[in-house]
Structure 1
Amino acid sequence: MKKIVVVNGHPDKESFNGAIARSYIQSALDAGAEVRYIPIGELDFNPNLQYGYRKRMELEPDLVKALEDLKWSEHQVWIHPLWWLGMPAVMKGFFDRAFLPGITFKNNKEGLSEGLLKGRTGRIITTAGDLSLDAYEETYRSCGLVQLQKGILEYCGVSAVQSDFIGPVYELNEEDRKKWIEKIKGLAVADSGVC
């Protein structure tokens, strides 16, 4: 049974991102995977890394549980909207507070960083309100994806990270949204290892 954690970075659980997360989870469960869910917007934690790395802040219970779920997983699915070409503030705050030295990465004897989430694969599902994939890739060089995939997940050891882009969401009608949900269900089945 594949162990999958689904992380929703949208602060509004009734958003299209929430519908994507729910569809993915149900399809993965139906395919036989074990699934845990981290709705970042519903967690109780201070997203401000107040002292930087100078002084460690105590992790709130919701962050401790989220880290346990991430370490338990074999596959991580990160769902988020693209706001100002990046992730929502609460999602960035989650990384700032939870992805700390000694928890998700460490420096080895040569002073190089070593990811502590090795052995896990990932998928990033990004939604964008008024941006097309072409504009995101050509004009903005997929900057939000680079931050999350390269700067965070791969830095911390997650490998084989795949990405899916949905946008512009503002132009999607109900039928378009249903088609995307069906595609998400297919991704969940594939990620669960079902042929």
Structure 2
Amino acid sequence: MPKRILVLDGHPGPDSLCGALAAAYAEGAIRAGHDVALLRLSDMTFDPDMGAGFGADKPLEPCLAEVQDKIAWCEHLVIVHPMWWGLMPAKLKGLLDRVLLPGFAFRYTSGQMLPDKLLQGRTAEVLVTADSPRWYLYLIERVPGYRVMKSQILGLCGFKGIRFRTFAPVQGSNEAKRKGWIERAGHYGAAA
């Protein structure tokens, strides 16, 4: 069954491994018959600072309004980003802060401890590149960025079936290894 898929390349720079993974995922999903939109963080200019928080009236820049529109449109969200200092890049976090707003992604209801999830009915997949080996990320570090993304960002907004795909270690990898990762991302897109 074809899906509407948004692929967000969350690397702040152009010509990255994340960009290649995002493009391969999108191409694989298109070949499988899905309707795909690909947005690149490196093409966006916006203020990533929320300022005074959710209560502040800060209009969305056009690129952020487009991200919001595509999130509302999609049935499956794919975020591809590098792991820097155990987390996503600051510009990607700023995008999520600015776009996943009350009234769009969630709604506070008086008397309820947790907000209403307004983006229910969607699934998500997060592809992450990292310099640390996978075993170290999972066993030693316990992937704090993954836990935050799953429960405190995407899960809080209503996304279900959130999967993480780790491509690591990038540091010291050769061209053949990276080519294999790109091919694997294409397979994930075809299987979405």
Pair in the same fold by TM > 0.5: yes
1:40 CA displacement: 1.7
Correspondence 1:96 to 2:58: no
The residue number in structure 2 matching 1:50 is 51
Measured after TM superposition, the shift of residue 46 of structure 1 is 0.6
Question: What is the aligned-residue RMSD (CA, Å)?
Answer: 1.1
4+ aligned runs moved over 2 Å, structure 1: 108-112
Whole-Å separation in 2 of the counterparts to 1:178 and 1:124: 19
Structure 1 unaligned regions, length at least 5 = none
Shift of residue 95, structure 1, vs aligned partner: 1.1
Residue 18 of structure 1 corresponds to 19
Aligned to 1:84: 85
Matched residue, 2:28: 27
Q: How far apart, CA to CA, are the structure 2 residues paired with 1:185 and 1:152?
A: 25
Residue number in structure 1 paired with 2:146: 145
1:90 positional shift = 0.5
Find the counterpart in structure 2 of residue 127 from structure 1. 129
After superposition, residues 107-186 of structure 1 pair within 5 angstroms as 107-111=108-112, 112-129=114-131, 131-186=132-187
Q: What SS does the corresponding residue of 1:139 show, helix, strand or coil?
A: helix
1:156-184: CA deviations, max 9, x gaps?
00100111111110121111111111111
Number of aligned residue pairs: give it. 190
| Structure 2 unaligned spans of 5+ | none
User: Residue deviations 1:47-83, cap 9 Å, x none?
Assistant: 0111112322111111111100011001010100000
Match of 1:60 in 2: 61
Identical-pair percentage: 34
State how far apart, in whole Å, the 2-side matches of 1:89 and 1:108 are: 29
- TM-score, L = length of structure 1: 0.94
Q: Which amino acid aligns with 1:155?
A: L
**Aligned equivalents of 2:53 and 2:59: distance in 1?**
13
After TM superposition, the structure 1 stretch with the greater mean CA deviation from structure 2, 68-77 or 106-115, is: 106-115
Contact 1:105/1:114 (<8 A) preserved: yes
Aligned AA for 2:130?
A
Task: Provide the rounded CA distance (Å) in 1 between the counterparts of 2:164 and 2:188.
Answer: 11
CA distance in 1, matches of 2:156, 2:97: 14
- Does the CA contact (< 8 Å) of 1:41 and 1:90 recur in 2? no
Distance 2:143 2:155 in 1: 16
